[in-house]
Amino acid sequence: MTQIDGSRPGAEYMAKSEFRSEGRAVRPRDSSTLILVRRDTAEPTLLMGKRSAKHRFMPNKFVFPGGVVDLADSRLKPHSQLHPAVLARLMKGASSSKAQALALAAIRETFEETGLILGEPAENTVQTRSPQWRNFLRHELTPKLDSLHFIARAITPPYRGRRYDTRFFMADADSLKTGTGPAPEASGELLQLHWVTLAQARELELPHITRIVLDEVEQRITNCQTPEQSGPFIYFRHGKPVMERH
């Protein structure tokens, strides 16, 4: 367990509206993020986009695609399954069904925000009433869960007005079935979507946690990651940030 600098990391870059002014800490909502890595360029690149200035949480920050877990994510029955090691690590903080929902949310949110599909051909139709998943499944693809690596988890500090318990997943862009360019059906929620090298990413206006995750991504790209590899878990204990590896 590593004690991190307790001086509200990244707080100097936060809008005043992001701080909780009074009352008890907000309960974190489960969310997921997907880091797509292209290796067909001179240097590996990652897909990032800019959050609108109108967002109440992390406005104007560059982030990876992702969002909150939806009820439909826990009800979908995909053909592909998580790697056993990835599932086991996710289940340190979730049930098996919740672990799968977290992974599915990362794929669904990436599709909604970028139009890109991390999937594989499906012989049988996956059933769902979710409009978002129906848009995904009409491409005759099923979510490719076995391509995901679970690389980090972070819980938003208690002093913020909105909080998320976020799992960061990583996958090679080779698994995309729609090419690597943002598709026309992207929601537009993320602006300036583009592929950036690690060095270019670090020059962007980033949330503090994203910088920590970038270090983990670089280490995994350099050393050839495996599904069993542990990753950082950042949370707050007694008002102080702590980082463990799970």
For the chain, 246 residues long, give each residue's pLDDT as a single digit of tens.
544 444 444 443 444 444 545 567 789 999 999 999 999 888 999 999 998 666 666 678 999 999 999 999 999 999 899 999 999 999 998 999 999 999 999 999 999 999 999 999 877 778 898 998 999 998 889 999 999 999 999 999 888 778 999 999 999 999 998 766 655 556 667 888 999 999 999 999 999 999 999 999 999 999 987 899 999 999 999 888 999 998
CA atoms within 13 A on the CB side of 217: 27
Q: Which CATH architecture has domain 26-245?
A: Alpha-Beta Complex (3.90)
Q: What is the pTM of this model?
A: 0.88
Write out the E strands in 53-125.
Answer: 62-63, 66-68, 119-121
Separation CA 1–CA 205 (nearest Å): 28
The β-bridge partners of 118 are 176
Distances (CA, A) of 140 to 153, 177, 218: 31, 11, 33
Tokens of 21: 């002014």
Q: Which residues contact 175 (CB under 8 A, 6 or more apart)?
A: 118, 119, 120, 144, 147
Nearest by Cα to 231 from 33, 19, 26: 33
Tokens of 211: 């910088």
Separation CA 185–CA 203 (nearest Å): 28
Q: Do residues 147 and 175 touch, judged by C-beta distance below 8 A? A: yes
Separation CA 77–CA 190 (nearest Å): 28
